[in-house]
Amino acid sequence: MSERVVLIDAVRSPFGKAGSLYSETRADDIMVRTLRGLLERNPKVSPTAIDDVAIAAATQSGDQGMNIGRSVSLLAGIPDSVPGYSIDRWCAGALTAVTTVAGAIAMGQYDIAIAGGVEHMGNHPMGEGMDPNPRYLAEKLVDTDALQMGMTAERLHDKFPHLTKARSDAYAVNSQNKTAAAYAAGKIQRDLIPVAVRSTELGWGVATVDEPPRPGTTVETLAALKTPFRPMGNVTAGNAAGLNDGATAAILASESKANELGLSIKARMISFAFAGVAPEIMGYGPVPSTIKALAKAGLKIEDIGLFEINEAFAVQVLSFLDHFGIADDDKRVNQYGGAIAVGHPLASSGVRLMINLARGFEERTDVQYGVTTMCIGLGMGGTVIWENPNFKAKGAKQ
């Protein structure tokens, strides 16, 4: 039995700078509040009707361990009859959680599932607890650069010298400007779930907006920043996503169950794909994964009207755009800004892309298809192609 998979809703916590906004808040508590907020605004979805909960984290220990998919479900008040599990595909954790439950829905085994991700990079610095096998380096399976994400971005600059630091800085400023405009128009806040935060110095508070954005950023200020990964390099703190804390969650369902329950549909899943590249140029992963996803969908890049590309590094996005002949400032790309501005809490980010794409679908009824895509550490990319349920063909009756 085959079912069409649809996105019902998606939300996220405000994103914080690592060890700042959420410095005294547990990762699982951020995830719990996000889950509760998702269910609170979807009262037609009975918690007892949820078939599974898949939650991702790149570091699965401490407050992100203990099978976080199951543990946060119980903490969020989801009935103990609903199972849960954890996912790890590094940056693409939440994206993989979505595609994994989507496979079960498509097979007719699930009707409704929750997928999401959390990362508290303040509590769990990137690479914490990892013990890379010496064979990686001894057998030259990878270069040392492959284990340092900033160096993989510098490698992309080497591979594509026409993707200059100036272009990366200009792209980063544009991301900041688009995020500022989206905030001014109230377009980002509507999908943020307020989260209680604790500070020994300030007491209790409520996180309601993203902490990382730097409105007013200019190319002149970015040009003056240091290049920490390589002397006279190209990658800076200004043209890359920061280290962040935050959580995301989404409800996926079969289209038949959504219609039966009278649930609104924000997007229909058309295809998805993951692909590998040389780990040293990790950021190039979205190119082959998008090529695969397009082929599976029977579509061409020209059919895509909106793109949500995770901005781990500006050069990584530029390499994707360059391959497909898309301008650096194409208005179809990251219309509300991206991770360079709002942050990239690793395993949570895939669902943030879906949130933005779904909102774009609401505004752009002339767009039929959209893409969410991201690069993944150790040389991978992941892409999901979605159809706009609000699409109106040119000339169609309103």
Co-location of 35 and 142 in the same domain: no
Inside any domain, residue 225: no
Residues 76 and 59: their CA atoms lie apart, in Å, by: 21
> What pLDDT is stored for residue 1 in this prediction?
63
Inside any domain, residue 378: yes
Co-location of 264 and 277 in the same domain: no
329's tokens: 């400032």
Co-location of 250 and 373 in the same domain: no
> What pLDDT is stored for residue 128 in this prediction?
87
List all residues 6 or more positions away from 188 whose beta carbon is below 8 Å from its beta carbon.
Answer: 179, 182, 210, 336, 342
How many domains, in total, are found in the chain?
Answer: 2
Inside any domain, residue 395: no
Residues 311 and 308: their CA atoms lie apart, in Å, by: 9
First to last CA, the chain: 34
Annotation marks residue 344 as catalytic: yes
Sequential DSSP letters for 199-220: ETTTEEEEE-S-S---TT--HH
Q: Beta partners for 197? A: 205
Co-location of 99 and 175 in the same domain: no
| Residue appearing with tokens 């400032």 | 329
Of the residues 120, 124, 157, 344, which is catalytic? 344
> What pLDDT is stored for residue 2 in this prediction?
87
Q: What is the pLDDT along the chain (398 residues), one digit of tens a residue?
A: 689 999 999 999 999 999 999 999 999 999 999 999 999 999 999 999 999 999 999 999 999 999 999 999 999 999 999 999 999 999 999 999 999 999 999 999 999 999 999 999 999 998 888 899 999 988 989 999 998 999 999 999 999 999 999 999 999 999 999 999 999 999 999 999 999 999 998 899 999 999 999 999 999 999 999 999 999 999 999 999 999 999 999 999 999 999 999 999 999 999 999 999 999 999 999 999 999 999 999 999 999 999 999 999 999 999 999 999 999 999 999 999 999 999 999 999 999 999 999 999 999 999 999 999 999 999 999 999 999 999 998 866 54
Annotation marks residue 375 as catalytic: yes
Co-location of 351 and 281 in the same domain: yes
Co-location of 154 and 276 in the same domain: yes
380's tokens: 């991978």
Co-location of 183 and 332 in the same domain: yes
Find the helix packing angle between 286-297 and 314-323, rounded to 10°.
Answer: 40
The domain boundary, picked from 234, 268, 302, lies at 268
Co-location of 11 and 152 in the same domain: no
What is the maximum span of the chain, computed from C-alpha positions, in angstroms? 65
> What pLDDT is stored for residue 127 in this prediction?
86
Co-location of 169 and 59 in the same domain: no
Inside any domain, residue 254: yes
Inside any domain, residue 396: no
The domain boundary, picked from 268, 286, 316, lies at 268
Domain harbouring 68, CATH code = 3.40.47.10
Residues 50 and 69: their CA atoms lie apart, in Å, by: 13
Of the residues 120, 124, 157, 375, which is catalytic? 375
Contact 317, 158 (CB under 8 A): no
Inside any domain, residue 231: no
Using alpha carbons, select from 251, 244, 169, 179 the residue that is nearest to residue 207.
244
Inside any domain, residue 197: no
Residues 372 and 383: their CA atoms lie apart, in Å, by: 6
The domain boundary, picked from 253, 268, 283, lies at 268
Using alpha carbons, select from 155, 133, 150 the residue that is nearest to residue 280.
155
> What pLDDT is stored for residue 138 in this prediction?
87
Residues 249 and 11: their CA atoms lie apart, in Å, by: 6
Co-location of 275 and 173 in the same domain: yes
Q: pTM of this prediction?
A: 0.98
Find the helix packing angle between 349-363 and 93-106, rounded to 10°.
Answer: 70
Inside any domain, residue 218: no
Centroid of chain to Cα 305: 19
Residues 260 and 61: their CA atoms lie apart, in Å, by: 39
Using alpha carbons, select from 266, 259, 257, 288 the residue that is nearest to residue 275.
288
Of the residues 91, 120, 124, 157, which is catalytic? 91
Q: Which domain holds residue 173?
A: 138-187+270-385
Co-location of 37 and 175 in the same domain: no
Co-location of 90 and 177 in the same domain: no
